[in-house]
Structure 1
Amino acid sequence: MPSAAGPWSPDAQHGGPPAALLGRAVERLAAASFGAVHVGRFTMELLGPVPVGRLAVSASVLRPGRSVQLIGAELRDVARDRAVATARAWTFPVSDAGPVPPTPLGHGPSDGTLRPRPTGWHGGYLDAVEWRWITGSVEAPGPGVVWMRPPALVAGEEPSPLQRLLACVDSASGVSAALDVREWGFLNTELTVHVLRPPEGGWICLDAATTLGTGAVGLAGSTAYDERGLVARSAQALLVARR
């Protein structure tokens, strides 16, 4: 699990893998309880650092329904026996009959370039994910556009489209870093993703921007695409503080 470590410490996970694990638990319970469904909104609350170690995940139906359902999930640190992250997800019926077809972006992963990660950041997740930058970079303050391809979440198991998406969108604050990462930290306390449709293929594109205020709160948002077009939008509240 070292490949799940985040940029700030080798002992704490990046937010992407925990989000994907919680999404996996939601999907498995939804499939067993309701059959095929689509997760239309996913919100994760990070209750503290998620350790690079043994974790236990569980899920429960919070609100059953014929058309939409609300499912909760929890991720626990086994060693300390405490919750480190929770999630709530609304599930919708699966349908391909929507009124608006997707529109491709006009660029793909092959159009992007490789760029080195910041020297002050730990590898882990950053080295495990494939990155192809269209504009911007972590070390160039401002918005960024990047194609990402995450590795497998669980050994021997192909990640679902939702899991691939959730493994990527937590990176919006890094993709659009608005401050020098050697001097400032910007850690998210939560992640909310509204999913229009499951992504297709292994690559996810994030078009991300960060907005800063006069205090300790920042907001990172992204629009996520696959090679066919728009997939989802995400938002994160950030704790902004000097390192």
Structure 2
Amino acid sequence: MTAYFERLGETMFRATRATEGAWNVEEQHIAPTFGLLAHLMQLEHSSRHEHPLTLGKVTYDILGVIPIDIVEVQVRVLRPGRTIELIEATLSHDGRPAAVGRAWFMKAHDTADAAGSAFPAMPPRGGMPTWDAPDWPGAFVRTPEIRRVEEFPGRAHAWVRPLLPLIEGEEVSAAARMLGYVDLANGLTPRVSPSEVAFPNLDLTAHLLREPVGDWIGFDTTMSIGPGGLGITHTVLHDEEGSVGTSVQELTIRPLPFGS
């Protein structure tokens, strides 16, 4: 496995076995799809702007499962602009939409004098043991290097280092690369065993403070479950220079055997 996707044309991509999902190994893990959609929205945006705007927010909705097969992505501009722009990308399999991403791009300004955050710092990864996701099947969760310390079920810190490119032979931005792994958060610290309760996410929204740097992505993750079948996984994202942004996933909590 050399990458998560192979480009077949302007809009067509073949998913590789590296995308094997954690709930079903015959379906794609949604994380690489999120990175793919971010990359293609950035490409479309950059093709029309001499000085591209900054990616600030991405919202993804998962419309259905995605087989490990050829997929198509269509990108359109919902709100063009010189200082703010909204772009949408839809990934389909065999003509059926399976995931939609919407990205806000914003004009950059020099705010270095006001920059700062009250998010707690990540613990250094040097003291963290390697984590091989023993409760999860599928190839994708084993493609990055993961180091994790779990305080208790539902609360953990992890450092993740991507080892495979998103698309074979194609450069992607640091933000798209990071967004291709953020969905890992939902499996980093389950409050209950995935052998007893299913908790797939319906969506993911990421708010960014800046472009990430370096090889490692830090996850400061908390998973919460409500009494009526709803859940939330919240993560503060970091790199080696500090906080980069946040992500939130809405979960559907379902006692096994998994039902519709």
Q: Could you say whether these structures have the same fold, taking a TM-score greater than 0.5 normalized by the shorter chain as the test?
A: yes
Distance in 1 separating the partners of 2:131 and 2:183: 19
Matched, 1:189 2:205: no
Query: Could you tell me which residue of structure 2 aligns to residue 199 of structure 1?
Result: 212
Q: Give 1:115 shift.
A: 2.3
Code of the residue aligned with 1:219 in structure 2: it is I
Deviation per residue, 1:192-232 (Å, 9 max, x gap)? 00011010011100101111111111111100000000101
Of 64-73 and 171-180, the range deviating more from structure 2:
171-180
Identity of paired residues, percent? 31
1:116 is aligned to 2:124 = no
What one-letter code is carried by the residue in structure 1 that aligns with 2:58? F
For 1:80-119, what aligned pairs fall within 5 Å after superposition?
A: 80-98=94-112, 99-101=114-116, 105=121, 107-119=123-135
Matched, 1:76 2:92: yes
C-alpha distance in 1 between matches for 2:60 and 2:86:
13
Per-residue CA deviation, residues 89-113 of structure 1 (Å, 9 max, x unaligned), is: 1101234543215799364443321
Change in Cα spacing, 1:174 to 1:106, as seen in structure 2 (3 Å) is closer
1:32 counterpart = 2:47: yes
Q: What is the TM-score of this pair, normalised by structure 1? A: 0.91
Tell me if structure 2 keeps the 8 A contact 1:164–1:202.
no
* Structure 2: distance between partners of 1:94 and 1:12: 38
The aligned length equals 237
2: CA distance, partners of 1:81 / 1:33:
27
In 1, Cα distance between equivalents of 2:255 and 2:110: 47
Q: What amino acid is the match of 1:141?
A: P
2:78 to 62, 69, 87: 62
Q: Mean Cα displacement is larger for which, 225-234 or 27-36?
A: 27-36
Q: Which runs of no fewer than 5 residues in structure 2 stay unpaired?
A: 1-15
Counterpart code for 1:85: A
Q: Secondary structure at the match of 1:174?
A: helix
TM-score by length of 2: 0.85
Structure 1 match to 2:21: 6
Mapped contact 2:56–2:105 kept (Cα < 8 A): yes
1:22 equivalenced with 2:34 (yes/no):
no
Q: After alignment, is 49-58 or 110-119 more displaced?
A: 110-119
Q: For 1:171, what is the secondary structure of its paired residue?
A: helix
RMSD across aligned C-alpha pairs, in angstroms?
Answer: 1.9
Runs of 4+ aligned residues of structure 1 deviating over 6 Å after TM superposition are none
Q: CA deviation at 1:117?
A: 1.8
CA 1:71–1:199 in 2, change beyond 3 Å: closer, same or farther? Answer: same
- Decide which of 159, 162, 168 is 1:147's aligned counterpart: 159
- Report the residue type matching 1:93 in the other structure: K
Distance in 2 between the 1:66 and 1:184 partners?
Answer: 47
Aligned pair partner of 1:214 in 220, 227, 245: 227
Residue in 2 that maps onto 1:46: 62
> 2:240 matched to which residue of 1?
227
Alignment check: 8 A CA contact 1:20 1:163 kept: yes
Instruction: After TM superposition, give the deviation of residue 136 of structure 1 in Å.
Output: 0.9
| Cα distance change, pair 108–180 in 1 and its aligned pair in 2 (3 A) | same
Asked if 1:176 is matched to 2:189, the reply is: yes
Cα deviation, 1:39-78, whole Å, max 9, x if unaligned, reads 111001100012211111121111011211011111111x
